[in-house]
Amino acid sequence: MKKTTQFKQLLKSQQLEFIMEAHSGLSAKIVEEAGFKGIWGSGLSLSAAMGVRDNNEASWTQVLDVLEFMSDATSIPILLDGDTGYGNFNNMRRLVQKLEQRDIAAVCIEDKLFPKTNSFINSKGQPLADIDEFCGKIKAGKDSQRDDDFSIVARIESFIAGWGLQETLKRAEAYHKAGADALLIHSKLAHCDEILAFMKEWGNRCPIVIVPTMYYNTPTDVFREAGISLVIWANHLIRTSIAAMQKTAAQIHSEQTLANVEPNVVSVKEIFRLQNADELEQAEKRYLPNKQE
Amino acid sequence: MKKTTQFKQLLKSQQLEFIMEAHSGLSAKIVEEAGFKGIWGSGLSLSAAMGVRDNNEASWTQVLDVLEFMSDATSIPILLDGDTGYGNFNNMRRLVQKLEQRDIAAVCIEDKLFPKTNSFINSKGQPLADIDEFCGKIKAGKDSQRDDDFSIVARIESFIAGWGLQETLKRAEAYHKAGADALLIHSKLAHCDEILAFMKEWGNRCPIVIVPTMYYNTPTDVFREAGISLVIWANHLIRTSIAAMQKTAAQIHSEQTLANVEPNVVSVKEIFRLQNADELEQAEKRYLPNKQE
Amino acid sequence: MKKTTQFKQLLKSQQLEFIMEAHSGLSAKIVEEAGFKGIWGSGLSLSAAMGVRDNNEASWTQVLDVLEFMSDATSIPILLDGDTGYGNFNNMRRLVQKLEQRDIAAVCIEDKLFPKTNSFINSKGQPLADIDEFCGKIKAGKDSQRDDDFSIVARIESFIAGWGLQETLKRAEAYHKAGADALLIHSKLAHCDEILAFMKEWGNRCPIVIVPTMYYNTPTDVFREAGISLVIWANHLIRTSIAAMQKTAAQIHSEQTLANVEPNVVSVKEIFRLQNADELEQAEKRYLPNKQE
Amino acid sequence: MKKTTQFKQLLKSQQLEFIMEAHSGLSAKIVEEAGFKGIWGSGLSLSAAMGVRDNNEASWTQVLDVLEFMSDATSIPILLDGDTGYGNFNNMRRLVQKLEQRDIAAVCIEDKLFPKTNSFINSKGQPLADIDEFCGKIKAGKDSQRDDDFSIVARIESFIAGWGLQETLKRAEAYHKAGADALLIHSKLAHCDEILAFMKEWGNRCPIVIVPTMYYNTPTDVFREAGISLVIWANHLIRTSIAAMQKTAAQIHSEQTLANVEPNVVSVKEIFRLQNADELEQAEKRYLPNKQE
């Protein structure tokens, strides 16, 4: 099944679905092997992995280059965290075209201004995009996709910026009408009251996506009962990799030997397995004259 | 101090020095923060992180793009694992020029054929580069560097390929004469006998670099006493990150909640710290009119 | 019609067909507007435009980036001059996958060694690829294409290297059997005797492609009567652009004014037309709130 | 002499100086060979050559990749037409750092909004950047350069947008105070009255740069007498190359032969000369064992 169709089915599924953050070809493959049905190409994680900030310091084509490796390494759909679409409606059109070429199933854009700022840094009172301008961006994206199943998720930042429920509903209504395939309602509270308040008013009009990074303690059944469609575990592979790398780097630096680290890291062979080295060995027998069996 | 000079000092240092693998801007920064004096840009790790194989599947400029992020994120020198130089002497000249522009301190090239194969996969009997051709590559690299302190490390694969000590010494002699700033003697045995045999014959003629991935159990003092200059811990950050990401992905997939994972991963704030988000906040006050204090 | 199918039809057409060199999105569009049915992505022109040599100084992904702009700007098929496939059979597999993603219709690979040398520079006695190895590369390419109509053209350099007709026929037979969709027989003589000699022996077994850069004085009907399928005008847009730019640069430098140059260059409006600026103006009315009519 | 210093001297020169547009490594080399002292990396030409529009459709790193080829191919300074700096002050800081790494001598930024629109398309009434915000961008750029001689040229679009002389002087004053090394006063009238009016009021306070694309008929002595420092011939190599390529493509398409085109295009050898192929031949003798004399 096409990746775009796979993702559309996640959005339309009758049960609560989950996708997991990745930030590289390697982490994307790990997400797939863990059993997840989709991948979140997190802007925060992608920028952090590169060593830059989540403020469009990397160009959109540099992000795309990583996404291409992620897509090539996996067979499940990727939802790209596309920030603001990296400019205006015209940049969005170009982005959609480039994502489709690279077999990325969907993109999420947020109603903020370029260059973006992370939602968890000084977000109170951040200016949001003009609603009409953002609706034009959604329409432009939808009009430029060639594959009917490519999805555009509209991310609403009004709770984050402190504009409250009415503004959120107003934006939800507008983005839904503009053609968004789903809405991502973002909140940075430690509980999910904003989300639940929205769900109560919004009802069942379109698939709703959430990112419970800050309200991680909320039991998942609460999301299920509220009628959420898709939960994004948004940055936990990069966060666990940082913890592990910091610990291992410190230990090797201090002990000046690998002896005690070796049991706690995967083997070199496991890297080879993840890289699919066996396939190349088989292929060499087929295609290299001196390697044929 | 220039990164090239820093690296040269590691090579010439009277004590045993250590550098640690990284494969991204983020991991490079973690290496620096752990206290290491240098970074190994591992070909295996870089390819694995991208989700491709260690067989020149990524182009050399794609590798360079990652190296640039790594260099920008750190102030310690990077030694790139430059495979075979990605072609002949002319590709090597171009590589050195591009590395210098990106402030990479040094490159290691190995005497194998393009496209390269990993030293730990079916390496027995692998053909090696012609000695004269490889010496030409070293000379071409040295002649094209603009910064006198840029270093070229010649990696000898003859133990790996099973050609023994005499061939290794012959190659060491040739590469040293051709101008290599150091030699990397590679071995894939579980003990360091090959290395010690080489050191005994070679003496003190130039700095020797080793990669104890397979003979990790050898006490580090053995290297010290043998007169080794530099030890490369070659792939342990990617290996620890894989272990951590596999565990965390599996746990979140199975538990469908973040609650139990949260205590074991770094905070989102720690990501911001690694990205140097504070600097941007300060800068906004200096450069954005509506943010001035 | 798909670009791959368009190109396949050029190969199978009963009449002599022609494609024209381009080296940028702009020149590709000019080729299409002139009425040509296909584009030759010349390795010589692409490297020359970048300012590097035709010896794989640009990485294969840097070439690919230009090809993507060329493909995006046009609706006719592109045949990439893919040198040696940029490595071995495995690099070829990856190349084919990446070309298909970017909607490139076909690739031509030549039986030389990486890094390649230009066929018109000291080519006498150049070593050629081992026949079996090159056949493996063709097979690997064909096995990895997803679109049945993607074409692989095998370019035979044995006339160029001075190995004569028998070697050329032997290679033609082998590459044809390995699955090449067409053969490019290259010659650097000022007349087409080598080509005609080959055609006489080869007969009609598969489509034959030629590049009459050196035997440009041969009347085209000679090719037609010989049963050639496709003629590549291989580098004439870059050569005419160099002539024009050198002349205009010299004139402006010497005269220190644009006054006499203006009548001989296209207008700025013509640039805008080639960029399709009108479409953006129309789109702004659809998608920008303050631009709506 | 460093390229940055060369450019600074052009700005400070007592005589009127000229730089010429280029859009590729090849055209940049042609500019240098024609005798010009500097190169204009035109946003219009760069985008046109890629086959995209002058509206930030190409990412800033894609532009940078072309600039790197241009810089590598030449020894004279390049002034990049950096649009709006590709975002806010922070994107500008990153741009300056990346330009310096690639040996680009200077950047020109304009006081418009991202994504930019071409100054010659519907520019009347276009919104300009807030003056304080743009000054912050200039300061941020200046503060982040490492080489004292790197130059930032501030381009004022108020004549273009129809805001008149007073607004232009106000902006000139502000950008000069903010640290701009020179001001580019842009006008799209067919005569240079706006420029002369500005020069009369502005006096000699800092170097002034102009782009006489639209007022090309003005005798150059008028600029000289008005005290202009630098004239940019902004897009004439791409315009002459388009004229030539369209003509040659049409002719070959119609005549189906190269015979009549050959005398009007440069030889293949001239391409090799521009690529510096001879140097590689010499180098092969030094570095390839089987090529040694």
What's the ipTM? 0.97
C84-109 average pLDDT score:
98
Distances from the Cα of A289 to the Cαs of B74, B169, C169, in angstroms?
45, 32, 20
Is C293 within a domain?
A: no
Q: Cβ contact (<8 Å) for A102 and C101? A: yes
Domain endpoint, select from C218, C235, C252? C235
Contacts of B150 (CB under 8 A, 6+ apart): B4, B96, B99, B100, B105, B106
Task: Count the domains in chain D.
Answer: 2
Q: What pLDDT, in 10s, does the model give residues B221-269? A: 999 999 999 999 999 999 999 999 999 999 999 999 999 999 999 999 9
Q: Is the pLDDT of residue A53 over 80?
A: yes
Residue A291 has pLDDT above 60, yes or no: yes
D62 φ, ψ to 5°? -65, -40
B156 in Cβ contact with B127 (< 8 Å): no
Q: Which domain holds residue A278?
A: 242-287
Do D95 and D56 contact (CB within 8 A), yes or no? no
- Are residue D154 and residue D74 in the same domain, yes or no? yes
Assess if residue A64 is contained within a domain: yes
Instruction: Yes or no: say if D86 and D114 are a contact pair by the CB < 8 Å rule.
Output: yes
Neighbour subunits, C (≥3 Cβ pairs < 8 A)? A, B, D
- By DSSP bridging, strand C208-210 and strand B17-22 are unpaired
- pLDDT at residue D116, as a whole number: 83
Span A60-113, pLDDT tens digits: 999 999 999 999 999 999 999 999 999 999 999 999 999 999 999 999 999 999
B54 is catalytic: yes
Same domain, A57 and A161: yes
B176 in a structural domain? yes
Does some domain include residue D63? yes
- Triad D237, C266, C253: Cα angle to 5°: 35
Q: Which residue has the higher pLDDT, D124 or D203?
A: D203
Q: Diameter of chain B by CA atoms?
A: 71
Same domain, D192 and D249: no
Look at B124 and B59; give whichever has higher pLDDT. Answer: B59
Looking at the structure, tell me whether residues C144 and C280 fall in a common domain. Answer: no
Torsion of CA B225, B226, B230, B234, to 10 degrees: -100
Per-residue burial over C96-120, b if 16 or more Cβ lie within 10 Å, else e, is bebbbbbbbbbbbbbbbbbbbbbbb
Tracing tokens 């010290």 back to the chain, one arrives at B224
Q: At what angle do helices A60-72 and A43-50 cross, to 10 degrees?
A: 100
Write b or e for each residue in A212-237: b if 16 or more Cβ atoms lie within 10 A of its Cβ, otherwise e: bbbbbebebeebeebebbbbbbbbbb
Q: How far is CA C283 from CA A87, A95, A136, D29, in A?
A: 15, 16, 10, 37
Clarify whether residues C30 and C122 are in a common domain.
yes
Domain boundary residue, one of D196, D218, D235: D235
Domain identity same for A115 and A250: no
Any domain includes C253: yes
φ, ψ dihedrals at D53, nearest 5°: -90, 160
Residues 77-136 in C contacting D (C-alpha not used; CB under 8 Å): 118, 120-122
Residue C293 has pLDDT above 60, yes or no: no
User: Which of B72, B101, B287 is nearest residue D140 as measured by Cβ atoms?
Assistant: B287
Q: Could you tell me if residue A293 is inside a domain?
A: no
d(C-alpha A123, C-alpha A193), whole Å: 18
Pick the residue of D285, D287, D291 with the most B CBs within 10 A to test the interface with B by mutation.
Answer: D287
Cα–Cα distance for residue pair C41/C19, rounded to 1 Å: 10
Q: In this prediction, what percent of chain A has a pLDDT beyond 90?
A: 94
Asked whether the beta carbons of residue D57 and residue A114 sit closer than 8 angstroms, the reply is no
Q: Confidence class of residue C121 from pLDDT cuts 50, 70 and 90?
A: confident
Instruction: Choose among B187, B79, B87, B165: nearest CA to B129.
Output: B87
pLDDT tens digits for D82-96?
999 999 999 999 999
User: CB-based contacts of B88: which residues, under 8 Å, 6+ apart?
Assistant: B133, B137, C115, D288
Average per-residue pLDDT in chain A?
96
B33 and B155 housed in the same domain: yes
Number of residues that this document lists for chain C:
293
Q: Give residue B167's identity as a one-letter amino acid code.
A: E
Coil, strand or helix: which one is A73?
coil
Q: Is the pLDDT of residue B50 over 70?
A: yes
β-pairing, D78-81 vs C17-22, is unpaired
In this prediction, residue D126 carries a pLDDT of 83
Q: Is residue C292 part of a domain?
A: no
Q: Residue A115 is nearest to which of D61, D62, D88, comparing CB atoms?
A: D88
Phi, then psi, of C18 in degrees rounded to 5: -135, 140
Among the partner-chain residues B18, B25, B250, the one whose CB lies closest to the CB of A50 is B25
Instruction: Report yes or no on B292 lying in a domain.
Output: no
Q: Is the pLDDT of residue B291 over 80?
A: no
User: Touching check for B283 and chain A: CB below 8 Å?
Assistant: no
Distance (Å, rounded) from C-alpha D243 to C-alpha C12?
Answer: 33
pLDDT digits (tens, 9 = 90+) for A218-232: 999 999 999 999 999
Residue of A nearest to C132 (CA): A289
Q: Which chains touch A (3 or more CB pairs under 8 A)?
A: B, C, D
What is the bridge-based pairing of β-strands B17-22 and B106-110? unpaired
Quote the distance between the C-alpha of residue C52 and its chain's center. Answer: 17
| Residue D288 near chain C (CB below 8 Å) | no
Chains with 3 or more CB pairs under 8 A to chain D? A, B, C
User: For position C223, which CATH number holds?
Assistant: 3.20.20.60
Quick one: which of A199, A256, A242, A201 has its CA closest to A223? Answer: A199
Do A92 and A227 share a domain, yes or no?
yes
Q: Is the pLDDT of residue B280 over 70?
A: yes
CA distance B252 to D131: 50
- Per-residue pLDDT band for A292 (boundaries 50, 70, 90) equals low
Same-domain status, B228 and B246 = no
Helix or strand run (H / E) with residue A270: helix A268-274
Cβ within 8 Å of A, B 142-171: none
**Is C221 in the same domain as C98?**
yes
Identify all chain C residues contacting D29, using CB atoms and an 8 Å cutoff.
Answer: 51
Output Rg (C-alpha) for chain B, integer angstroms: 21
Helix axes B131-144, D277-287, angle to 10 degrees: 130
User: Looking at residue D121, what is its pLDDT?
Assistant: 84
Q: Which residues of B touch C115 (CB under 8 A)?
A: 87-88, 90-91
Shortest distance, CA B177 to any CA of chain A (angstroms): 32
Instruction: Give contacts of A94 with chain D, Cβ < 8 Å.
Output: 57
Q: Is D242 on the interface with B (CB under 8 A)?
A: no
Domain edge (last residue) among B213, B235, B257: B235
Q: Are residues B88 and B187 both part of a single domain?
A: yes
- The residue of chain B nearest to residue D131, with distances taken between CA atoms, is B289
Is residue B159 domain-shared with residue B223, that is, in the same domain? yes
Q: Residue D264 burial by CB count (10 A; 0-12/13-18/19+): exposed, middle or buried?
A: middle
Write the CA distances from C135 to A180, B160, C138, D201, integer angstroms: 49, 30, 5, 73
